[in-house]
Amino acid sequence: MWKEIQKKFKWELFENLDIFRKRLSKILLELTPKTIISVTGWDLILEALSEALSVA
């Protein structure tokens, strides 16, 4: 998962930790269940996301 997030940080420099945290939060919020499934592919995560999506 980190490699997927890291791709979005390529060549970015942050003035301080707070700015980095805000950028990381934005990236995490943009991740879709479909992206998470494709990156992880773990049965436990697939089942949990499938159930969460069927409830929503």
**Cβ–Cβ < 8 Å for 9, 25:** no
**Cβ–Cβ < 8 Å for 49, 39:** no
Q: Give the predicted TM-score (pTM) of the model.
A: 0.57
The tens digit of pLDDT for each residue in 33-54 reads: 888 777 776 777 777 878 888 8
pLDDT at 32: 84
Percent of the chain with pLDDT over 90: 25
Report residue 17's pLDDT band, with 50, 70 and 90 as the boundaries. Answer: very high
Q: Residue 16 phi/psi, 5° resolution?
A: -155, 170
